[in-house]
Structure 1
Amino acid sequence: MIVTARDWNDGRWIEVEVVDGAIARVEALDPARPASPDDPFIAPAFWDIQTNGRWGHSFSSSDLTVEQVVDIVRAQRNLGAGRICPTLITAPPEHTLHGLRTIAQACDENPDVDRMVVGIHLEGPFLSEKTGYRGTHPAECMRDPDWSLFEKFQEASGGRVVLMTLAPEREGSAEFIRRAVAAGIAISLGHTATDADALAAAVDAGATLSTHLGNGIVAELPRHPNPIWLQAAEDRLYASLIADGHHLGPAALRVFARAKGWNRLILVSDAGWLAGLPAGNYGAWDVDPSGKIVLAGTPYLAGSALGLEVGLRVLDAVEPAFPRPLLDTVTTNPARLLKRPEPRLAVGEPAEFVLLRRPAPGGLTLERTCIGGEWFERAD
């Protein structure tokens, strides 16, 4: 396979040759070759560190199957993603344990799935149980950080938990964070009513991310201080954002991008278990034709049905920065957060890349994705 496109680093035309699923050659072409707004760009495949399920199946479900995990993970290739963190939200411990064991089994039995799963993200159960802050997480399953429970989760996952979201105001959070970070787990803060002291203690203990900053929070807050501004102002925290056009407005996206800087922004899909299904009612949930998922009959968001392509397009319309650093928000930055090698287009690297077009700010589209030397066409 030989691919000719413009390099995501500097916009120069390059030729990339793939042999046996790996990049065998990267060659710069004539620098005088003309460029146009509709030229294809090549970049590493996306990383999505927060995706909860698809097609009516949740990674947190008590009846999750290996086949469902395999299908959900492989479906990400049509969305531009080459590495993901299956995300389990708050649930009864036995449900979480089942989900973790099932994901682990799917990875053990399918090398391609194991390669795509960079690790598992636990979003709970050590979150705020307060109305608004908890979002759609069940309050009755919330609890203070418990290292022995986490060890059970990690054992069930086969050591695959690499990211955990918690509320730093819960009793024992700082000590839990220290132990988790020492064990190589990245800690994120989210679904939290934190004050300045609890936030500072968590970051001092090693927390490095804010989960979907600006969401998972009550609708009305004190003007200042409040958990949003406290986290936005903390330079030691990355921020993950759901830029699907529903969870955050243009002004909030622009403020967060400027407060954090491009090297500390990470886009996530937060794709819900209803992602990929037609618009309509699904019991307690509605999937809107625009792609948002809400509690039925309310405006309250419950995850997204859209992929990272949409987030990149929306953020690019608000704060144009293509190709880099915009594309770093779904490649370099999440890899750096998880202390993994940064994805590159270089000889010897796996053939995991996307082809994109971006004729104008806010006009970015995913063309197709190469994973393991095989092409996957874009899916909505």
Structure 2
Amino acid sequence: MDLVARHFATGRWTRFELDDEWIAAVEELEGAEDFGPDDDWVAPAFWDIQTNGRWGISFSSPELTRDQVVKIVRAQAELGTARLCPTLITAPVDATKQALETIAVACASAPDVAAKVVGIHLEGPFLSELDGYRGAHPRDAILDPDWDLFREFQDAADGRIVLTTIAPERPGSIEFIERAVSEGIVVALGHTAADGPTLRAAVDAGARLSTHLGNGIVAQLPRHPNPIWEQAAIDGLSASFIADGHHLDPSTLRILTRAKTPGRTILVSDASPLAGLPPGLYGEWAVDDSGKVVVSGTPYLAGAYPGLEAGLEMLLKSTDFSLAEAIATVTENPARLLGRTEPTLVNGAMANLVVFKHDPNGGSPFRLTRSYIDGRWALPGSSSQQGNPALD
């Protein structure tokens, strides 16, 4: 099967021969040099290292089932996502263990799901308990870092936790970071009120990422210094961003990504368990008409609604990133952070790719049209057009 589209890195028309799950040949073609708004473009499919669920189902829920995990993971293809980290937020210990076991069972029972799940992101429970900083994380389940407890979580997950977010000001954090890093776990800093020296000590201990920098923080801060500027200034930290139009305004995204540079910028969806549901009140959380997800009755955001396509569109509109640099924030950069092979579009590489519209002349900067992931085509919104696949 052949695909002809403009290559995201060169802009040149390119023919790709797809042989099931692999790219069998790549050939640069002669073609029109002038870009058109209807041109097809192609890039590697996305990596999303922070997604919390979908269709009212949370990866953190003790009621999570194997079938729900399988269906949510498989549905990521329609969002352009080939690889993901199911993300668990703070919950009671037993609930977290149960959810981790369920994800592990889903991976063990379905090889395609295991291939898509690059690992689990444990966001909590070792976070700040302060209002604002803790965001939607329940205060009564937040704990100080405890290596023995983390090992229990890892055992429940069958060793699949690859990324964990902690607040480095909590007692025992530095020792925890050192231990985690020594065992191959990537440590991120987030939901933190830490000062500069504490943040720098965490980086010296091995922390490598700021989780959704600019969010998970109190609404009003000292002008300077504060945890946002301190993390932005530390070159040893990459940073993930939620560029959904609600979590960060364009100017803040532009400034923070300049500080981090394209090579240390990662976009995440931070998809809420309410992603894919219509606007309304859902227990303690709510979705408004604009797609903003909040803790009911508060201004605190509780994850995001759209996939990474929206983040790429905002990044390209708000910054000076080239198309190739923007694509790297959802492909090369997260893969490199996790120590995995970076996705490419070369002969012999896996044929995980997205086809999209991109107008460099001032039109739509990014619009996903279809994805080819693990040997199958997927269209945006295809599962929602067939009812709710996670609840069937």
Aligned to 1:113: 113
What are the within-5 Å matches in structure 2 for residues 81-230 of structure 1?
81-230=81-230
Aligned to 2:239: 239
Alpha-carbon distance in structure 1 between the residues aligned to 2:303 and 2:234: 25
Question: In the alignment, which of 363, 366, 377 is matched to residue 364 of structure 1?
Answer: 366
Report if aligned partners of 1:314, 1:362 keep a CA contact under 8 Å in 2. Answer: no
| Superposition deviation, residue 34 in structure 1 | 5.1
Report if aligned partners of 1:316, 1:362 keep a CA contact under 8 Å in 2. Answer: no
Aligned to 2:348: 348
Aligned to 2:286: 286
Report if aligned partners of 2:271, 2:307 keep a CA contact under 8 Å in 1. Answer: yes
What are the within-5 Å matches in structure 2 for residues 247-326 of structure 1?
247-326=247-326
Aligned to 1:377: 379
Structure 1 stretches of 5 or more lacking a match?
A: none
Alpha-carbon distance in structure 2 between the residues aligned to 1:15 and 1:56: 40
| Superposition deviation, residue 215 in structure 1 | 0.5
**Using a 3 Å threshold, how does the CA distance of structure 1 residues 362 and 247 change in structure 2: closer, same or farther?**
farther
Alpha-carbon distance in structure 1 between the residues aligned to 2:285 and 2:235: 37
Report if aligned partners of 1:317, 1:362 keep a CA contact under 8 Å in 2. Answer: no
**SS of the counterpart of 1:96?**
helix
Q: Which amino acid is the alignment partner of residue 22 of structure 2?
A: A
| Superposition deviation, residue 190 in structure 1 | 0.2
**Using a 3 Å threshold, how does the CA distance of structure 1 residues 365 and 322 change in structure 2: closer, same or farther?**
farther
**SS of the counterpart of 2:329?**
helix
| Superposition deviation, residue 32 in structure 1 | 5.9
- The answer to whether structure 1 residue 8 and structure 2 residue 15 are counterparts is no
What are the within-5 Å matches in structure 2 for residues 35-74 of structure 1?
35-74=35-74
| Superposition deviation, residue 283 in structure 1 | 2.1
Alpha-carbon distance in structure 1 between the residues aligned to 2:86 and 2:158: 14
Alpha-carbon distance in structure 1 between the residues aligned to 2:240 and 2:347: 30
Give deviations 1:52-83, integer Å, cap 9, x for gaps: 00011101001100000011101110000000
Report if aligned partners of 1:320, 1:361 keep a CA contact under 8 Å in 2. Answer: no
| Superposition deviation, residue 307 in structure 1 | 0.6
| Superposition deviation, residue 373 in structure 1 | 2.0
TM, length-normalised to structure 1: 0.97
**Using a 3 Å threshold, how does the CA distance of structure 1 residues 109 and 225 change in structure 2: closer, same or farther?**
same
Alpha-carbon distance in structure 1 between the residues aligned to 2:141 and 2:205: 25
Alpha-carbon distance in structure 2 between the residues aligned to 1:321 and 1:191: 27
Report if aligned partners of 1:355, 1:369 keep a CA contact under 8 Å in 2. Answer: yes
- The answer to whether structure 1 residue 328 and structure 2 residue 328 are counterparts is yes
Alpha-carbon distance in structure 2 between the residues aligned to 1:167 and 1:74: 32
Report if aligned partners of 1:8, 1:42 keep a CA contact under 8 Å in 2. Answer: yes
Alpha-carbon distance in structure 2 between the residues aligned to 1:59 and 1:223: 36
Aligned to 2:389: none
Alpha-carbon distance in structure 1 between the residues aligned to 2:294 and 2:75: 23
Alpha-carbon distance in structure 2 between the residues aligned to 1:294 and 1:47: 25
Q: Which amino acid is the alignment partner of residue 156 of structure 1?
A: A
Give deviations 1:253-292, integer Å, cap 9, x for gaps: 0101111100000000100111101111112221112111
Moved more, 359-368 or 108-117: 359-368
| Superposition deviation, residue 131 in structure 1 | 1.1
Q: Which amino acid is the alignment partner of residue 152 of structure 2?
A: K
TM, length-normalised to structure 2: 0.95
Report if aligned partners of 1:316, 1:361 keep a CA contact under 8 Å in 2. Answer: no
Give deviations 1:277-314, integer Å, cap 9, x for gaps: 11111122211121110122333211111110001111
| Superposition deviation, residue 102 in structure 1 | 0.5
Alpha-carbon distance in structure 2 between the residues aligned to 1:79 and 1:320: 24
Alpha-carbon distance in structure 2 between the residues aligned to 1:212 and 1:361: 28
**SS of the counterpart of 1:303?**
coil
Report runs of 4+ in structure 1 exceeding 6 Å deviation. Answer: none
Q: Which amino acid is the alignment partner of residue 239 of structure 1?
A: A
Report if aligned partners of 2:316, 2:323 keep a CA contact under 8 Å in 1. Answer: no
Alpha-carbon distance in structure 2 between the residues aligned to 1:67 and 1:132: 34
**SS of the counterpart of 2:60?**
coil
Alpha-carbon distance in structure 2 between the residues aligned to 1:314 and 1:7: 21
Aligned length: 380
| Superposition deviation, residue 362 in structure 1 | 5.1
Q: Which amino acid is the alignment partner of residue 102 of structure 1?
A: T
Give deviations 1:322-355, integer Å, cap 9, x for gaps: 4210111100100111111110112222210000
Give deviations 1:162-187, integer Å, cap 9, x for gaps: 00000000111111111111111110
